[in-house]
Amino acid sequence: MENQKLNGNDLLAIGFEGKAIGAALQLLQTAYKGKTKEHTLALLKKVLDTPEQYREHPVLAPLAEELLVPAPAEPLALKPDQQAYAIWGAEGIEVRALNQMDIAMRLPVTRAGALMPDAHQGYGLPIGGVLATENAVIPYGVGVDIGCRMAMTLYDMPATFLEQNRERLKGLLVDNTRFGRATFQKPKEHAVIDRPEFRDIPILKGLKDRAFEQLGSSGGGNHFVEWGTVELADAQNEWGLAPGTYLALLSHSGSRGMGAAIAGHYTKLAMEGCMLPQEARHLAWLDLDTEAGQEYWLAMNLAGDYASACHQQIHERLAAAIGQQPLARIENHHNFAWKEKDAQGRELIVHRKGATPAGKGVLGIIPGSMTAPGFIVRGKGLSASLNSASHGAGRTMSRTKAKELISPEAVQQQLQQAGVDLIGSGLDEAPGAYKDIRKVMAFQQELVEVVALSYPRL
DNA sequence: ATGTCC
């Protein structure tokens, strides 16, 4: 009798919602008829609070199962108006990259952004995009190759050393680097492989063995290791080196399969929990207060340290091979997220996806192409750029288009003209596939000052 | 970018 008065509104009042209301009302049609309303409501409240305890219950199990179904993620709307952001070298940036940045500036978590002069289309955030969010990290705002970076060591070089030792130096590169799917037969130990994250974070457990196998290797795509000469013009340089010409080893690579697997795993998680409109779906974020967000942050940092370890080993092997200690070392990553404070002292998550950190006095390396010079730069700390600069020249055409349009003969001629011995590369990395680095540097004069030029040789 | 599709 009493239960005839118990209706959906009573269930809403104690916190039931959605399909669980129907499931509970259905139960009440057959069970608990002789019980008081108070008794039944108290029981239902207990099921609502701890449904896992009623999974096996003879009567309440169907309701418990309904309560245990995870609620579908709420679709999130983009803000109607995008926040303003600064662009350097806008005339050289493809429309698709601009459109992607416009969408990123409409995310509810976005607080600031900027676009670098080498920008081009990527997944979600464009390459060359910088995005500052509040308490949220976007796995595709970091990119697939987490922690991808540049590293350079400078060596004392008698004027004619490189020219007189081309074949020997080339041989040392072939012997001491690994590209594509090749790895070292016996990888060198490194402390990064013993990090506790590899056992504390489930996804990393399965990635440790391959990470060790790939340690010290470079991968593919635009990754390289090269000998070159550095023309150091700045007498007030950080290393106290005399202006002049130095032998330089320059490397570009990232976190190999490990970073790619982390990016894939957490992007999928983010997209499941953060439903965005189709045009923004790859910008799904993880809240840093959630377990997944904190895990990604730790895994991303480990991938960054792993990428750094690979460069360390590359440079260690080649320093040993030429029997010299480096005079100076420069390193910077350009696919990563950092916790940084803005001008108001507010902590933001700054994603740089193919952008060089350029805080005041911060050194970085911006490579040109296989024939064009790279630039060692010192950041000027411009806040409108979120303390960033480009991470290279930027592509003028897609990889597919480059393979179609560029002839091997044309590349040969460019290499010869620049005095570069190429050990190996695809046409998709040909100089013609990239913008003119000198123009790109001209666009970003207010972001960085040039410390030295680096000329690729072999 | 990526044992280049689980």
CATH of residue A177: 3.90.1860.10
Give the other-Cβ count within 10 Å of A32's Cβ. 19
Which nucleotide is the nearest neighbour of A220, by CA and C1'?
B1
Distance A214 CA to B2 C1' (A): 13
Q: Which of A47, A68, A89 is the last residue of a domain?
A: A68
Q: Are A301 and A443 within one domain?
A: yes
Is A289 inside any structural domain?
no
pLDDT score of A425: 94
Where is the binding site for GMP, in residues of A? 222-226, 334-335, 367-370, 391-394
Can you give the distance from the CA of residue A18 to the C1' of nucleotide B3 in angstroms?
45
Annotated binding site of A: 145, 222-226, 252, 334-335, 367-370, 391-394
Dihedral angle computed from the Cα positions of residues A312, A314, A318 and A323, in that order, rounded to the nearest 10 degrees? 20
Residues A61 and A152 in one domain: no
Residue A69 confidence (pLDDT): 84
Q: Are A458 and A227 in contact (CB under 8 A)?
A: yes
User: Which structure tokens are listed for A69?
Assistant: 């179904």
Single residue among A68, A94, A109 that ends a domain in this structure: A68
φ/ψ of residue A224, rounded to 5: -155, 165
Interacting residues of A29 by C-beta distance below 8 A, sequence separation 6+: none
Please indicate, yes or no, whether residues A197 and A301 belong to a single structural domain of this protein.
yes
Domain membership of residue A241 (yes or no) is yes
Alpha-carbon distance of A336 to A79, in angstroms, equals: 25
Count of Cβ atoms closer than 10 Å to residue A209 Cβ:
11
pLDDT at position A72, please?
64
3-class SS at A294?
A: helix
A58 and A167 assigned to the same domain: no
| Same-domain check for residues A200 and A312 | yes
Look at residue A314 and tell me if it is in a domain.
yes
Nucleotide B2 C1' to residue A135 CA (A): 28
| Nucleotide B1 C1' to residue A275 CA (A) | 25
Residue A78 counted as domain residue = no
Residue A106 lies in a domain: no
Pick out the nucleotide with least CA–C1' distance to A254: B1
Per residue of chain A (458 residues), give pLDDT as tens.
555 678 899 999 999 998 899 999 998 988 898 889 999 999 999 999 999 999 999 999 999 999 998 776 678 999 999 999 999 999 999 999 999 999 999 999 999 999 999 999 999 999 999 999 999 999 999 999 999 999 999 999 887 899 999 999 999 999 999 999 999 999 999 999 999 999 999 999 999 999 999 999 999 999 999 999 999 999 999 999 999 999 999 999 999 999 999 999 999 999 999 999 999 999 999 999 999 999 999 999 999 999 999 999 999 999 999 999 999 999 999 999 999 999 899 999 999 999 999 999 999 999 999 999 999 999 999 999 999 999 999 999 989 999 999 999 999 999 999 999 999 999 999 999 999 999 999 999 999 999 999 999 99
Main-chain dihedrals φ then ψ at residue A451, nearest 5 degrees: -95, -40
Residues around strand B, C-beta < 7 Å: A 144-145, 148, 180-181, 210, 214, 219-223, 253-254, 256-257, 259-261
Same domain, A188 and A39: no
- Same domain, residue pair A60 and A172: no
Q: Which residue is nearest to nucleotide B1 (CA to C1')?
A: A145
A261 closest-nt by C1' vs CA? B2
A63 and A176 both lie in a single domain:
no
Q: Are residues A171 and A317 in the same domain?
A: yes
- Domain limit, last residue, from A43, A68, A93: A68
- What residue type is A139 in one-letter code? P
Say if A350 falls within a structural domain.
no
Q: Are both A176 and A315 inside the same structural domain? A: yes
Binding residues of A for Mn(2+): 145, 223, 252, 334
Instruction: Provide the residue range defining the domain that includes A325.
Output: 146-254+294-329+356-396+434-456
* Protein CA at A399 to nucleotide C1' at B1, angstroms: 13
Residue that the structure tokens 């911060």 belong to: A362
Q: Which nucleotide is nearest to A256 (CA to C1')?
A: B2
In a domain, residue A238? The reply is: yes
Total structural domains within chain A: 2
A206 closest-nt by C1' vs CA: B3
> Do the domain assignments include residue A409?
no
Residue A3's pLDDT is 52
A63 and A150 belong to one structural domain: no
The catalytic site residues of A sit at 391
Q: Are residue A311 and residue A197 in the same domain, yes or no? A: yes
Burial of A204 (0-12, 13-18, 19+ CB in 10 A): buried
Q: Which residues of A375-403 are buried (b: 16+ CB within 10 A; e: fewer)?
A: bbbbbbebeebbbbbbbbbbbebeeeebe
Residue with tokens 């952008």: A355
- What is the pTM (predicted TM-score) of this model? 0.86
Nucleotides of B under 7 A from a protein CB: 1-4
Provide, in whole angstroms, the distance separating residue A437's CA from nucleotide B6's C1'.
Answer: 41
